[in-house]
Chains A and B, each alone.
Chain A
Amino acid sequence: MKKIINVVIPLFFILMGIGCLTLSSTVFHSHNALHELFESFIGICIFLAVSVALGVLYIWVNKKKNQN
């Protein structure tokens, strides 16, 4: 139960954050708002994923180094 809360709360925060960023990056586009919304959502997610991937890569490399 506690484990689930520990995952759900941060995930909730992250999703909220992505939501805020998506909204504010779309708000000044008045044409084709839905498309823009989608596009900026994907863009933000990609940027996040790249940074997270960098972190994961670092941890992974460290683990590999430790095993040798």
Chain B
Amino acid sequence: MKFNSITVKLGVTIMVLFLVVLFPLVYTIDQMFTAFYINQKQEQLENFASKYSTTITSVEDVNSYHMFEMLSELMDTELFVFNMDGEILKSTGVLNFTEGTNVTKEIYNPIAQNGTLGIEYKAASESHDFFLSGKPIMVNGKVGGGLVIVSSMEDVDESIEQVRLWLLISVIGALFIAIGFTFFVSKKLSNPLLQMEQATREIAKGKLKTKLMIPTKDEVGSLATAITDLGRELEEYRTNRREFFANISHELRTPISYIKGYSEVLTNGLVSNEEERNQYLTIITEEAKRLTTLINDLFELAKMEEGKIDLNYEWLDIGDALNSSAKKVSLKAAEKKIEVRLNTASDYPLLYTDGVRLEQIIINLIENAIRYSPPESRVEIYTKTHKQRVEVFIQDFGMGIPEEDAPFIFERFYRVEKSRSRASGGTGLGLAIVKNLVQLLGGEIKFESTQGKGTLFKIAFPTNQKVSEDK
């Protein structure tokens, strides 16, 4: 495990959180215990002082004190009694409270005022503190003197130390438990992340079908699905590209082999007459033209797919676009004696779009309609205007598209009948370009076809300027 790994980071975070809670708690408990112990002790002393002070009936008569020494021994405390002059009359002889000396004001004042004495006392000669607890001795309803109990705080301090030690041990215990569980929890939390990291590495290495099994439905789960999808998409892209290159080389090779073959025939002087020669030359020109178209189309597609195509938006009458497209294909239509019927009756709306690209789309579709229709049929073009969009229909009555080919005709190089398409100058890129262009212009393309009866291509564009631009 690396020190910088996510597991460690998570673990440390959990531990820090735990300590943040634990330390203040422990401090509070320690304070509580300390105060409690000291209070307990002091109350005990006070109690004893107040009880014992009532047994003294005469302060001056030191011999009348009951069991003075014995009590001191039993309670493990020291006692002394002083009169109202502050002079100590009897003492068990502790610290400097010896008989005959005077007490300080600190001790004298509270008792003389019929109050309770309770102070901590630091003796210079001893290492630990003492606690003085005192009560007045009442004689005939008046304060006749004071009884003071001196108790060492040593044992209390020792108890507190002990508690503190064991508190520390239990804190360490709790810490151990936390560490133990943190191991599990941080492993569990970071596991999907580590799994994903590995999966992405595998994908980068080329194992695109790497599958991630993270069933959770939170962000982590959706990230895992995204990674799996990414791999699949990349895989698809790779196959696509492989196919694409195979297709390109095939499509390029065919015209080149024609050109090469016929030009060789010509250079070797293997032609018998002028007519044959001209025929061969025509084929060479045709194939060169096809190569140009193919390369242009490929270039166009590549630009589109990389999004490197500039669109010049303008307001235009869709009728104008249809008319000029129809004019441009009229020569091809005339060759096959096909009538291109443009329904000019409706009121064409304005469209905010790129005119050149729009014409490219329409010309491509009309050319297909002409190409895949028998001679002397017709192609109909009409539009429908809706509130938010315009639809353009291009209808032919030709061979139609077989149902099993329908899903693929927008793919590059896909042709239903290769030979027929080729014979009529098709590259198989037309519809791929059309689809890309329509999407770039924010439109939609669909088609309906019945084999043997004809095909209807529908393209729809939004009329709203904002929508067109946003897309």
**Which residues from chain A sit less than 8 Å from chain B, CB to CB?**
6, 9-14, 16-21, 23-25, 27-28, 48, 52, 62-63, 65-67
Contacts and interface: CB of A to CB of B under 8 A. Distances in A.
Contact of A23 (B167, B169, B184): B169
B67 to A, nearest CB: 30
Given A6-B187, A63-B215, 9 more contacts: A14-B180, A17-B172, A17-B178, A23-B169, A23-B173, A24-B170, A52-B181, A62-B216, A66-B216
Contacts of A18: 173, 177
Nearest to A68: B217
A17 B215 contact: no
B174 A10 contact: no
B169 A10 contact: no
A49 B295 CA distance: 73
Contact of B176 (A14, A24, A62, A67): A14
A20 B169 contact: yes
Given A6-B183, A10-B181, A28-B166, A17 B176 contact: yes
B175 interface: yes
Nearest to A59: B188
B170 A10 contact: no
A23 B61 CA distance: 54
**Interface SS of chain A: helix, strand, loop or mixed?**
helix
A19 B269 CA distance: 105
Contacts of A9: 183
Contacts of A63: 215
B215 A13 contact: no
Interface residues of B, number: 23
A66 B217 contact: yes
B183 A13 contact: yes
A29 B139 CA distance: 46
Contacts of B217: 65-66
Contacts of A62: 216
Interface in B136-167: 163, 166-167
A28 B164 CA distance: 12
Contacts of A25: 170
A10 B183 CA distance: 6
Contacts of A67: 215
A10 B216 contact: no
B183 A20 contact: no
A16 B181 CA distance: 12
Contacts of B178: 17
Contacts of A12: 180
Contacts of A11: 180
A17 B217 CA distance: 35
A48 B175 CA distance: 13
B179 A20 contact: no
- Among B166, B173, B179, B217, the one with the most A-chain Cβ atoms within 10 Å of its Cβ is B173
15 contacts: A6-B187, A10-B184, A13-B177, A14-B181, A16-B176, A17-B175, A20-B169, A20-B176, A23-B169, A48-B177, A62-B216, A65-B217, A66-B216, A66-B221, A67-B215
